[in-house]
Amino acid sequence: MFQQVLGGMIGHCFYKLTVTKLQPEKGSYYFEKKQDVWHVGYFSYKEVLSNVQEWYERGADAVEMEMITREQFDAILPTPFDKK
């Protein structure tokens, strides 16, 4: 019943992940902040958290999770060229 209401999307999450890593600048006491933005969708929350854990294991200093809608996620995906 609930699956019909949600359009078959039970358990699917859509997130914008901002991964931050601080790298020391050469010959300085300052750090350079490098950020990568990833969009993750059509996965369960457990799978998204698994990906976040992998980022921390790879040396990320912070991973910010922002929940987005399915429409926002689909708008980011590349669209095929219109064939005339």
Region 7-21: mean pLDDT is 79
Contacts of 23 (CB under 8 A, 6+ apart): 31, 32, 34
CA angle at residue 51 from 48 to 53, to 5 degrees? 115
- pTM score, two decimals? 0.71
Q: Which residue has the tokens 């854990």?
A: 53
Whole-angstrom Cα distance, residue 64 to residue 7?
28
pLDDT (0 to 100) of residue 53: 95
Per residue in 28-83, pLDDT tens? 788 888 999 999 988 888 899 999 999 999 999 999 999 999 999 988 888 776 55
Q: Judging by beta carbons within 10 Å of its beta carbon (0-12, 13-18, 19+), is residue 28 exposed, middle or buried?
A: exposed
